[in-house]
Amino acid sequence: MTLRILYGGTFDPIHNGHLVVALHARDALHAEVSLLPARDPPHKGPTSADAADRARMCELAVAGIAGIDVDERELRRDTPSWTIDTLRGLRGEIGDGVPLALLVGADSFLGLQTWKDWRALPEFAHFVIAERPGFDLDAAMSPELAAAFGPRFTASPRALHSASAGLAFRLRQPVTPESATELRRRIAAGVPWQDWVPPEVAGYIVRNHLYGAAAIPSGHL
């Protein structure tokens, strides 16, 4: 059965680092990947884009890419985007037998203990953990995280297809420096930033004046 991967994030905005991770996961694990944009937090900062814009940029970024789509289920909910609730809902739809994985960057994984019911998450899905510059899994995992996940690690993509949940896999994609926080800072500061996002996303940001983007004369995007 095809492995389904959920790649959650605020994607504020989506950038090339996200796409490298999603493409590598798709190819290395023979999986279908869904970007899962989170809904707006209760107190959205002025430098952030709203959920509709974030989702639209995700769609523009993956349009025409086979095996990667956007799942807007968290945007349709009117409660916080707790991953455990999303997984419960999805399992209710697809059943327990389908192999399912959560794709997270190393920084997110290292903060997993702040997630609601984090110890229960592996009952619902595997974890695929992407490398991220500056976050060393071997050195930085807390004793609790290491105890909960250490025995779950596998180096076998095949194993992620054989079991429906419960394993952990380190995705060794080419590391890239992009970060949404730094991207927003560059856009607002007028520092060159377009190379960090697909051209369709850059066009959307400029046309909609997101993140304080200055207008660029027509014909340049």
Binding site for ligand ATP (CB under 6 A): 9-11, 17-18, 21, 104-105, 107-108, 130, 132, 176, 178-181
Q: How far is the CB of 220 from ligand ATP (least distance, A)?
A: 25
Q: Are residues 133 and 106 in contact, defined by beta-carbon separation less than 8 angstroms?
A: no
**CB closer to ligand ATP, 87 vs 180:** 180
DSSP H or E segment with residue 93: helix 83-94
In whole angstroms, give the CA distance from residue 150 to residue 134: 21
Q: How far is the CB of 97 from ligand ATP (least distance, A)?
A: 26
The strands making up 168-171's β-sheet, listed across from edge to edge, are 68-70, 31-37, 3-9, 100-105, 126-130, 168-171
Q: Are residues 171 and 25 in contact, defined by beta-carbon separation less than 8 angstroms?
A: yes
Q: How far is the CB of 95 from ligand ATP (least distance, A)?
A: 26
**CB closer to ligand ATP, 99 vs 105:** 105
Q: How far is the CB of 218 from ligand ATP (least distance, A)?
A: 29
In whole angstroms, give the CA distance from residue 117 to residue 86: 12
**CB closer to ligand ATP, 104 vs 206:** 104
**CB closer to ligand ATP, 17 vs 198:** 17
